[in-house]
Structure 1
């Protein structure tokens, strides 16, 4: 038995760096992911597609690991980086985008949007209890990621 938890996130931030530097960091998936907390492994699948393997959460046979893969599509002229799920990889599907806009020479506005569907092997009776915990953890990881990116400059 399994439950699926859906998560939608939007974040806006301003990074104290020029457009090119910000875009180049975000478009370089391994470099960008190095600022994301609790990533156990990032696997290059080729063609700008990567599998994220997050650290396990829980104990022994009750540990849950989130694994998913995305294909990334940077468009510097449009100020957009999008990602879409690679089907058949892991227990989650994640899609989203960065929208990047110069704000003068030394600041860049960034909008992060993502949608995730995570399937975990738990009884459906636990969905009401575990869903808020998973959403809270995901929000916390993304907030830490945003702070880490801002501090990278």
Structure 2
């Protein structure tokens, strides 16, 4: 069974836009916060293979070991990380975007993902429920990722800056 994903979530981060933009400087660190990520393998400078821990409930036989590859693009001007699926890797094609928008003294973080998980093994009896169930599990992981990212940004020790000396 194939399961389509089209999920969008937002979180208001308790940090200014400049601090939030540091997410763009450490792509591996940023995506490495995603819950249930088992391994992240670099395929090329801008491409990674994700391998996730089992998602779902094995006892109900609605479980899937998600694996996919994507090519990432960092758009500093737009405050965004975007990814496009790479065919021929894993069992899903997933693309998406993380976008940071200034909201006064805080930053809104948008996480959007769309794609398809292929060949999810689901017993015939559970097929009507499997799609919404797996999408719900993925939505929960995205919300946990947003919370982890907000916490990581909020607890970072600020870099001490010194005023510039005036020349006499």
TM-score w.r.t. structure 2 length? 0.78
Partner of 1:14: 12
- Matched ranges for 1:24-103 at <5 A: 24-26=22-24, 28-57=26-55, 58=58, 64-103=64-103
Give the Cα separation in 1 of the matches to 2:62 and 2:94: 23
| CA shift for structure 1 position 54 | 0.2
The question of whether the paired residues in 2 share the 8 Å contact of 1:27 and 1:81 is answered with no
Give the Cα separation in 2 of the matches to 1:62 and 1:5: 12
Partner of 1:133: 133
Give the Cα separation in 2 of the matches to 1:138 and 1:62: 13
Unaligned runs of 5+ in 1: none
Unaligned runs of 5+ in 2: 155-168
The question of whether the paired residues in 1 share the 8 Å contact of 2:62 and 2:121 is answered with no
Given the alignment of the two structures, is residue 23 of structure 1 paired with residue 21 of structure 2, yes or no?
A: yes
The question of whether the paired residues in 1 share the 8 Å contact of 2:63 and 2:120 is answered with no
| CA shift for structure 1 position 84 | 0.4
Give the Cα separation in 2 of the matches to 1:91 and 1:142: 19
Give the Cα separation in 2 of the matches to 1:123 and 1:149: 32
Partner of 1:115: 114
The question of whether the paired residues in 2 share the 8 Å contact of 1:51 and 1:67 is answered with yes
Give the aligned length. Answer: 149
TM-score w.r.t. structure 1 length? 0.85
When the two chains are superposed, the root-mean-square deviation of aligned CA atoms in Å is: 2.2
Give the Cα separation in 2 of the matches to 1:82 and 1:62: 30
